[in-house]
Chain A
Amino acid sequence: MHILRMILASFVVFVFQVILSHIISFGEASPDFVLILLIVLVMHQKPVLAIIIGFLLGFLQDLGNASYLGMNALAKSLTGYVVARYASDLLPDSSLFKGLLILVSSLAGDVILLNIMASFDQVSVLVAFFRYSLLSAVYTAVVGVIVFKVIQILPGRTVRSGVGF
């Protein structure tokens, strides 16, 4: 049942990512719904499963832009592992902290992506980081907080229950 929910949630999130992210973008900043989904899914999961989920979500995201196939898979795998391995235990059960986690995850993932896209040219990475990543990360974190709040409000659904959304 959890797997079905995961697939359904993934499908909805990918539709959101494709359709909504461009519509609700502010300038160069647009939310990364897939990252929010990843955080929601892998929090309180075992790191191995988090890596697989991250890899699959990233890979699916990469299919939309085949020129960088593997880029999001790499970033999301690492993000999933780190979140599952360390963040679950260290962070208190608060939407604000989860937003912070999404912010950091987004920035870290963007660093990986920008390095790959700019072929590790640090100047380009820094310029792109401050130009695109910061605002997008904040935007994603805000949307993430809202999502976590909504999940907490839903009856019988708690984030603590793993993929319980």
Chain B
Amino acid sequence: MQIISFLFDKHLEKSVLALAVSLSVFMLTLGEDSKINAAREISSVLLYLSPVQKMEEYFTDIEDLRIENLKLREAAVSLAHENERLIQFGEERNRLREMLGFRRDSFFKFMPCEVIAKSSNRFHHSVTVDRGSAEGVKAGMAVVGYMGLVGKVTQVFPFSSRILLINNKAISVSCIDKRSRIVGILNWERGNRFNLDFIGSEEDVIPGDTLLTSGLGRVLPKGFPVGTVSRVDKEKTGLSLKVSVSSTADLNTVEELFIVIGGRDWESREILDLLENIKKEEQSADKTTEGNSTDKTTEDKPADKIKE
């Protein structure tokens, strides 16, 4: 007690100074690890007790928010550009679709359509498109793709139509050689392979010739490319040529098509009457066939095989 009284009553200044100096020197004599650990612990306690920690968190949050805001701004700019591009693409697409929808040339009128279903039958290739009688589609109308003839309309519903593709045994197409003007009947063989039948052995048909629809049957319009002659051989009989043809259009990947709804020489009443007659014949044949056999479907009936 006397020592404490001596230190803190009579020599308070010197005692406190000595204490401070002793503490300082003690801290200086500590090991490196001890100093660092002690400083770390004291700092963490002080920061926890003081508002510095909260302020630090506040400013850290602000910094995080600033970075996040910057990223969001970048993303917004990027998305805005992308959105603008998409809007332009959309407008361009609509414009092109409009152009296609009102496409006119001096010979034909086209109605664009999209394939909405495909037949799963390997030997009866047909597709369903999104245009029907409501848009003026009639049975028998020709259907073309970007590269050439694809098929014809066989069944019409109010808002859709079934199209029989030309790679089908039920369809024969009258074709004309673009170069030599030789006319033949095109029949499907397999895949995208066709045969041009009824070509005499002396006719001028060579590989590479382009075949166009002849229009002679008056059902399919004239002048659409159908295929290219890939090979010409003589038949064994020597009377005719065996002409192999590759179709111009890839019939396995049809997506957008055009229904030929009219043309210079084609939109006459005569052709429409002809289409009506064909339709009536089909219906009467259906009734007859239904009476004889109920097993066969309409598409499989021989009466459906319309040759130009």
Contact = CB atoms under 8 A, between A and B. Distances in A.
B28 A68 contact: yes
B25 A77 contact: no
A116 interface: yes
Contacts of A73: 20, 23-24, 27
A156 B52 CA distance: 29
Contact of A77 (B24, B39, B43): B24
Contact of B17 (A51, A58, A62, A116): A51
B13 A69 contact: no
Contacts of A116: 28
Interface in B39-54: 39-40, 42-43, 46, 50, 52
A69 B21 contact: no
Interface in B272-287: none
Contacts of A74: 20-21, 24-25, 28
A14 B60 CA distance: 19
Contacts of B21: 74, 77-78
A11 B55 CA distance: 12
A82 to B, nearest CB: 10
Contacts of B28: 68-71, 74, 116
A146 interface: no
Given A67-B35, A70-B26, A81 B13 contact: yes
A116 B27 CA distance: 12
Interface-centre pick from A62, A70, A81, A116 (highest chain B CB count, 10 A): A70
A77 B38 contact: no
Interface residues of B, number: 24
B202 interface: no
Interface string A54-65: 110010101100
> Which 10 A-B residue pairings sit nearest by Cβ, starting from the closest?
A70-B27, A74-B24, A66-B39, A77-B20, A70-B28, A70-B24, A69-B35, A73-B24, A55-B20, A66-B36
Contacts of B24: 55, 58, 70-71, 73-74, 77
Count class of interface residues, chain A = 20 to 34
Given A11-B52, A74-B25, A116-B28, A52 B20 contact: yes
B120 to A, nearest CB: 76
Given A70-B27, A70-B28, A47 B20 contact: no
B134 interface: no
A107 to B, nearest CB: 19
A63 B25 contact: no
B201 to A, nearest CB: 101
Name the prevailing secondary structure of the B interface residues.
helix
Contacts of A11: 50, 52
A143 to B, nearest CB: 24
Contacts of B216: none
Contact of A66 (B25, B26, B40, B46): B40
A60 B50 CA distance: 13
B13 A66 contact: no
13 contacts: A11-B52, A47-B16, A55-B20, A55-B23, A63-B46, A67-B36, A69-B27, A69-B30, A70-B25, A73-B23, A73-B24, A73-B27, A74-B25
Contacts of A20: none
A6 to B, nearest CB: 14
B87 interface: no
A102 to B, nearest CB: 21
Nearest to A52: B16
B248 to A, nearest CB: 77
A117 to B, nearest CB: 10
A44 interface: no
Nearest to A58: B24
A85 B13 CA distance: 9
A116 B28 CA distance: 9
A85 B12 CA distance: 13
B169 to A, nearest CB: 89
Interface in A24-55: 47-48, 51-52, 54-55
B300 interface: no
Given A11-B52, A47-B13, A70 B36 contact: no
